[in-house]
Structure 1
Amino acid sequence: MRLGEVLDVIERLLTACGHPEIETVHRYGTDQVAGGPSPAGVRVRCTSGAEAYLWGAIWSGENVLPTPAVLPWPARPDRIAVLVCLLLDAARPAGLSGWQLVALDGLGPSDARGKAPRGVRIVAADGTSLLLRATAAGAPMPEPADDPYPGWKIPETLSVS
């Protein structure tokens, strides 16, 4: 499975999930494999103006993390990585055989380098393994102190079709 196909699945899930924080979901870049000159990914613009990205990456040193049941706040890279894992758990796309939330060596808050969720390792049904790295850009205004949508639930009918 090519990077673009995996990103199509992620884009559809993020668009279909109906999270009130998500304003728009947009694909960017043209690379079909990670590490090329036009990194391909998915950008999520939040209602606060913050943006979160998942893009095809090559990184040495991953640490598998359990997926928490609650979305982290306010760290956008952590939040998008966890949200995507929860959406994949709920939808179980046919073209993918597995996914794991990962911390990436050297990334994360200074007190938790290599321990914060900063990516998603995806294994396709054909055995292809891809890393999506999570990054973010801040909101033009300060974020609220607490998650504004703590009661949001993934729709039971979520699918990628």
Structure 2
Amino acid sequence: MTHLKEGDNAPEFTGLNQDEKEIKLSDFKGKKIILYFYPKDNTPGCTAESCNLNENYDDLAKKGFEVIGVSPDKISSHQKFIAKYNLAFNLIADTEKEILNAYGAWGEKKLYGKTYMGVLRTTFVISEDGIIEKIFHKVKTKDHTNQILSEMDLQ
């Protein structure tokens, strides 16, 4: 598992978004990125997190941020999720878990005493020149935008 830390270069990635368009980290050079990894479309925590970022998307964009969500869901699932909640940003379908692994967001989890592999809900704030500025391992799904902005001193 990759152990990225603040100050590291963000790993380059390529993935397909909800429109089957190729998205690369390098496409966003010169913009700040909020790259968030979440387990599954249309689940309570993931919906709360995505909707919170979406409700604040205009403010985030004014501060120079681009938001990109990544989960192992299929493109068709992302299409339905975006349509249902009118999400304004890209969701990448990482069905092969390549991006998840590159960022250390796929790993061992425990639930009710059972161990299994799954998505480790994590958010990376990446600078205009591709440096990881902040990593959130304990995501406040219902108030993630404020969590990011307050930790980044951008409120």
Q: Fold match, TM over 0.5? A: no
Q: With CA pairs under 8 Å and 6+ residues apart, which has the higher RCO, 1 or 2?
A: 2
TM (norm. structure 2) is 0.28
